[in-house]
Amino acid sequence: MEDFYILSGSDEELEANLTLYPSIQTITLSWYSGKVQSTKYEVKSRQNWTSLKDISNLAIQKYYTWSGSENLCKAIKLPGGTKMRYDVIYNQQCDTNINKTSNVKSLEAIYFWAMPAVRYDPKRKALYYPKDIAFPSYYYTSLPKHIFHMYITENVVVTDIGDIFTKTLKPVTLSCNYQVPSISFNSKPPQNYKTVPIYDEVFIISQHWGDQYYHKMLEAFPRIMPYLTFLKDNPLIWIHAKEVSGHTAFFMEYVGLNQTRLIHGHVRAKVIYSEK
C-alpha cells in the first residue's frame, strides 16, 4: 500500500496548498455584522472588535481570565519551560492573582488563530519543538480575516479518530491528534478500509481522546455549534464522533439533533465536512 502525502494543518501555506487538490473545497466564513460591508470597513471593525458586544459570531460573549500557581507561571514565563509550549501560546504572560479571575473580559485574539505551538517535520515525520519558536505579534493583537473554515472533501476514508484519507492525500486538521504523531501522521490508511461502511455525507467531530470528558466538552462538541442550523436543515448528514452514547448522545439531543445520526469507527464517505 502506497504512503499518502501528509498535508499538515499547522502549515502556514495550508490554504494555498489545498488549491492544488480539486477533491477538497475550502469554505471560509467571514465575520458577520448583520449588514453588507466593504472590505475597508470589515478590517476597521475587526480592529475595534470585542466579544462583549458580538452576538453574531460567538455563542458566548463574556469571558474570564485565568491565574496560575507560582510554579506554573514560572514555567510559562520561561522559554521552553513546558513541553506543550505554553510559553508561546500565552506569550510568556501569567498572573498568580486569583482575584482577577472574576473580572469579565473579551475573548483574546490568540484563540482565533488556532495554530499549535508545534510544527510537523516531513523529513523526520514527527512533531518538533524548535527552541526559537514564536507566534507573530499580530496573533495577540488582531483577528484573522475569516472566523471559520470548513473543508468539503469527496471520496474519503475516515479513521476512528477523524483523520481522513482522500486519493493520495492525508490532510491533518488541528486537534489533539497532534499530540500522538505516530497516529495522526501515519501515512497509511486502515488496512480494512475497503470493507468498512460507506455513507453519502458525514460531518466530523471525532478526534483522539474524543470520548473523554474534557476533550469532548471543550473540543469535539463546540465544532458543531457554528454549523448547527446547517446540520438541522440537512438531516441526512451523519455525524462521526469518537463515541455514540453517553454525553455525546445527550449533547446531540440537547442541541436538537437526533442521536441516531451518530456513527463511529473507520468509515468511508462520498462527501465529508470537517473544520480546520
Full residue range of the structural domain in which residue 94 is found = 66-102+108-142
Do 119 and 179 reside in the same domain of the chain?
no
Strands (E), the chain: 5-8, 24-30, 63-64, 104-105, 119-121, 126-128, 146-158, 164-165, 169-172, 198-204, 238-240, 262-263, 267-275
Write the DSSP assignment of 53-116 as a string of letters: G--SS-S---EE-----HHHHHHHHSTT-STT-HHHHTTT-----GGGGGSEEPPPTHHHH---
Contact call for residues 37 and 48 (beta carbons, < 8 A): no
Do 175 and 272 reside in the same domain of the chain?
yes
What's CA 193's distance to the chain center, in Å?
A: 25
pLDDT tens per residue across span 102-126: 999 999 998 888 676 666 565 555 5
Do 151 and 218 reside in the same domain of the chain?
yes
C-alpha cell at 265: 469507527
Contact call for residues 223 and 162 (beta carbons, < 8 A): no
Residue 61 resides in a domain: no
Do 203 and 271 reside in the same domain of the chain?
yes
Binning pLDDT at 50, 70 and 90, where does residue 226 land?
A: confident
pLDDT tens per residue across span 203-218: 999 988 889 999 999 8
Residue 46 resides in a domain: no
Distance (Å) of CA 159 to CA 101, 105, 168, 193, 229: 39, 39, 15, 9, 26
Distance (Å) of CA 273 to CA 8, 155, 200, 201, 205: 17, 12, 11, 8, 9
Do 98 and 156 reside in the same domain of the chain?
no
Do 184 and 238 reside in the same domain of the chain?
yes
For residues 251 and 221, what is the distance between their CA atoms, to the nearest angstrom? Answer: 8
Residue 124 resides in a domain: yes
| Number of domains present in the structure of the chain | 2
Do 133 and 211 reside in the same domain of the chain?
no
Do 260 and 168 reside in the same domain of the chain?
yes
Binning pLDDT at 50, 70 and 90, where does residue 45 land?
A: low
pTM for the full predicted model: 0.83
Do 160 and 260 reside in the same domain of the chain?
yes
Residue 56 resides in a domain: no
Do 248 and 119 reside in the same domain of the chain?
no
Contact call for residues 181 and 6 (beta carbons, < 8 A): no
Contact call for residues 148 and 28 (beta carbons, < 8 A): yes
Radius of gyration of the chain (CA): 20
pLDDT tens per residue across span 63-96: 999 999 999 999 999 988 887 778 888 888 999 9
